[in-house]
Structure 1
């Protein structure tokens, strides 16, 4: 059966009107190609795509690996190099600067409890080594290992960074320690 010409024309006009109702986001020109999510046959070339971001790279693009953090108690300075870029490390860095009192735990760790909020998303666990800076998920604390004899892998530990100043870690016991990004 054939529809009357006015119904067909009205249907086509409605379809064209609806197709033209969308507006391009402000960072697209009317002539720039539009890539739809879920379209595997098309890909955007980031070198030619317009950008509304400043020319400077954001911290998530630069990453945090290589950031140096100082733990300072009087004359004692423990220098830590961040070597993990994960949500836990980023949440630690977001808490800085801060001052905490460290105490000994089990003759193997110096620990303190920050008041900030940790993000343990996708935490991978840790097989600890002396000099590791870590967070322990169940307690939400921050710590250094200075002796790992008898320790094994734990899913509850998340590595943040490491230090070579292992002899200085032991000197943090009972001290108020200021923690800040160096520089």
Structure 2
């Protein structure tokens, strides 16, 4: 009986130590920092939140027509404050330039609001997105990775190859389809 009591006491001490260690470790977890590397791309896996809230893809705000040169794409604009900000500026005709072989970008006439938008997002191939630090509206034709200040506005449908291989700026008209 004495051995059993001694084992219970040792187990109790071990459990108490484990709980103390777990409590200290949770208090020392790195928090998501607003300070990012110079290029604003998050590379520290510890600074990425477990779940990144993204704009609502289930609620459609509007359907857009995107005319690239003489080719036409359509896009579904999702319901979020940034998309509403873009919609208020339409129709837009802008000179888009290739950036990094992954997207066509242009500066909208007015900045797009980031109020109420998550701090970071991961634009993917086929997304209409916005990157606030450089005020760039993006027609994305390759995955961009996660960026602080990025927001996905909607989804482009159609042949994305028409967005590629532009060595010179290309005129793009974005308008709402009634």
Q: TM-score, normalized by length of structure 2?
A: 0.60
User: By percentage of residues, which structure has more helix?
Assistant: 2
Distance in 1 (CA, whole Å) between partners of 2:129 and 2:175 is 16
- Is it true that 1:81 corresponds to 2:76 in the alignment? yes
Is this contact kept in 1: 2:68–2:170, CA < 8 A? yes
Return structure 1 stretches of 4+ with deviation > 6 angstroms.
Answer: none
Residues 1:107 and 1:88: Cα distance change in structure 2 (over 3 Å): same
Residues 1:66 and 1:119: Cα distance change in structure 2 (over 3 Å): closer
- Is it true that 1:93 corresponds to 2:87 in the alignment? yes
Moved more, 123-132 or 167-176: 167-176
Q: Which runs of 5+ in 1 are unaligned?
A: 1-63
Provide the secondary structure at the position in 1 that maps to 2:87: helix
Provide the secondary structure at the position in 2 that maps to 1:163: strand
Q: Which runs of 5+ in 2 are unaligned?
A: 1-58
Give the corresponding residue for 1:105. 99
User: By percentage of residues, which structure has more strand?
Assistant: 2
Provide the secondary structure at the position in 1 that maps to 2:88: helix
- Number of corresponding residues: 118
Provide the secondary structure at the position in 1 that maps to 2:83: helix
Give the aligned CA root-mean-square deviation in angstroms: 2.1
- Is it true that 1:128 corresponds to 2:123 in the alignment? yes
Distance in 2 (CA, whole Å) between partners of 1:67 and 1:157 is 20
1:171 CA displacement? 6.5
Question: Which of 131, 137, 140 is matched with 2:132 structurally?
Answer: 137
Q: Where does 1:1-183 land on structure 2 (aligned, <5 Å)?
A: 65-82=60-77, 84-124=78-118, 125-148=120-143, 151-165=144-158, 166-170=160-164, 174-183=169-178
Structure number, greater radius of gyration? 1
Distance in 1 (CA, whole Å) between partners of 2:157 and 2:65 is 12
Is this contact kept in 2: 1:76–1:171, CA < 8 A? no
Is this contact kept in 1: 2:61–2:79, CA < 8 A? no
Q: TM-score, normalized by length of structure 1?
A: 0.58
Distance in 1 (CA, whole Å) between partners of 2:130 and 2:149 is 8
